[in-house]
Amino acid sequence: MNKSSKKIKYYSFSLLLLILILYATFIYKLQEENELALATEVEKNSAERGSTFKPFDHSFEKGLKNLKKELIFDKMFQNILKPTKLEPFHFEMKGLFEPSDITLTTMITVDRFDILLNCMTIFDGLFSVALHIAEDSDLSENLEKLKIFISKNREFIETRLDIHLVVDKFPRQLNYLRNVARFFSRTDLILPLDVDFMINKSFIKHVKSNDFIFGKLLNGEAVFIIPAFEYHGVHINTTYESFPQEKKDVIKLFKEEKLMIFHGTDNKGHTSTNYTMWMNTTDPYRIEPNSFSYEPYAIFNKNTVPWSDERFIGYGGNKAAWWYEIYLAGLEFWVVPNDFLIHQYHKYDDSVRLKERHRNVKLFWNFLPEICNRYRVRLLEHKNEHIDLMGCRPGNNSRF
């Protein structure tokens, strides 16, 4: 074959290849436009019907368009007690926010609306709230209470609050409710709290102005723990309006024995935080938990932290199990130097808590070897390090 024939063959092949590429590009663009048009038409039809349904992004529509919302939720929360009805964004905020904003996630019942408002007065970030209403004879009455709460406080709450409604006959699926509030939060950075904890007003400012803390949070490599306190003795009924807002005032009240570590100095749920270090530093410091029972409150990136195990029903072990898994997952544990939480006292039903704790203790001790096996690869990676993983390494404990 002469050079002329080779050139003709080469150019013919190149031209054919170019035509095929252009054709494939045309087909892809046409398919993309059709999917976008379909999504737009679905949204238009929903709006005409007065529906609040928002279609999935068209890039996911092909795989999800035939799935019912209930089926998706059933898989997302597959370990919960059922049946349960979940309505995300039952009340949907209308305010503007930045991706770097911070959302406080929590769970409430209809008798805690006032405490939620108190919390919103102190914390000026966003709120994602899982509201549980019991599916019993008082269902209609409680739904009416929700309606009145929204109507009465709309102007105050509508720029910062999303409410996700959960209706079932199971009163304390706490980890399920935590996961609902977290999943539907609008920002990556979240602060999961029980609603009766009040944080100092300057918390968000402190976090965002500290490049070290904010950077680690955005990267998702660490959790930042916030020391928790509570009043005791004759001061136990102090209300949130009188809570201190500066670290120096917390230290003063602590030395005067008006404030104490949440649940006491002998409680292993919080002592790993090292309160003595917190009182004497102005810099973040890293800690290693020294107890299975450690269950602090912290801010973190929701995209990198394990989810709360929904098999724990009621009080006892539900948070401790979650925090132990966070630890095994390799997240760094740091403590913020200038911020704090104070618990607003309220009475507990100790009889209910005692029964639930008894049941959850059994589950917790079965959970530990299970979670160790799940993170076995990471445990083996740490076999020569100082970190003991609290006896989780195979061979260190007869349970494993």
Instruction: Count CA atoms within 13 Å of residue 297 on its CB side.
Output: 24
- The structural domain count of the chain equals 2
User: What pLDDT, on the 0 to 100 scale, is given for residue 386?
Assistant: 41
Q: Which domain holds residue 270?
A: 196-400
Q: What is the distance between the alpha carbons of residues 80 and 292, in angstroms, rounded to a whole number? A: 23
Residue 55 forms part of a structural domain: no
Q: What is the distance between the alpha carbons of residues 323 and 269, in angstroms, rounded to a whole number? A: 10
Instruction: Locate all alpha helices (DSSP H) within 49-169, ordered by sequence.
Output: 58-64, 69-76, 113-122, 139-157
Choose one of 195, 228, 247: the last residue of a domain: 195
Residue 64 forms part of a structural domain: no
Do 262 and 287 sit in the same domain of this protein? yes
| pLDDT above 60 for 57 | no
Do 167 and 223 sit in the same domain of this protein? no
Six-digit token pair at 179? Answer: 């996961």
- Model-level pTM greater than 0.85? no
Do 204 and 181 sit in the same domain of this protein? no
pLDDT bin (cut points 50, 70, 90) of residue 120 is very high
Q: CATH no. for residue 99?
A: 3.40.50
Q: What is the distance between the alpha carbons of residues 348 and 345, in angstroms, rounded to a whole number? A: 9
Residue 4 forms part of a structural domain: no
User: What pLDDT, on the 0 to 100 scale, is given for residue 78?
Assistant: 86
Do 213 and 344 sit in the same domain of this protein? yes
Residue 58 forms part of a structural domain: no
Q: Which of 187, 253, 197, 196 is nearest to 227 (CA)?
A: 197
Residue 130 forms part of a structural domain: yes
Do 225 and 330 sit in the same domain of this protein? yes
Choose one of 147, 167, 195: the last residue of a domain: 195
Q: Which of 256, 199, 259, 251 is nearest to 229 (CA)?
A: 259
Taking only the tens place, the pLDDT of each residue in 193-216 is 999 999 999 999 999 999 999 999
User: What pLDDT, on the 0 to 100 scale, is given for residue 387?
Assistant: 44
In our burial notation (b when 16+ CB lie closer than 10 A, e otherwise), range 354-381 reads eebeeebeebbeebbeebbeebeeebee
3-class SS of residue 336: coil
Do 129 and 235 sit in the same domain of this protein? no
Choose one of 135, 169, 195: the last residue of a domain: 195
Taking only the tens place, the pLDDT of each residue in 331-375 is 999 999 999 999 988 776 666 677 778 788 888 888 888 888 888
Residue 100 forms part of a structural domain: yes
Six-digit token pair at 104? Answer: 């406080």
Six-digit token pair at 232? Answer: 């005791």
Q: Percent helix, strand, coil in the chain (nearest 5)?
A: 45, 15, 35
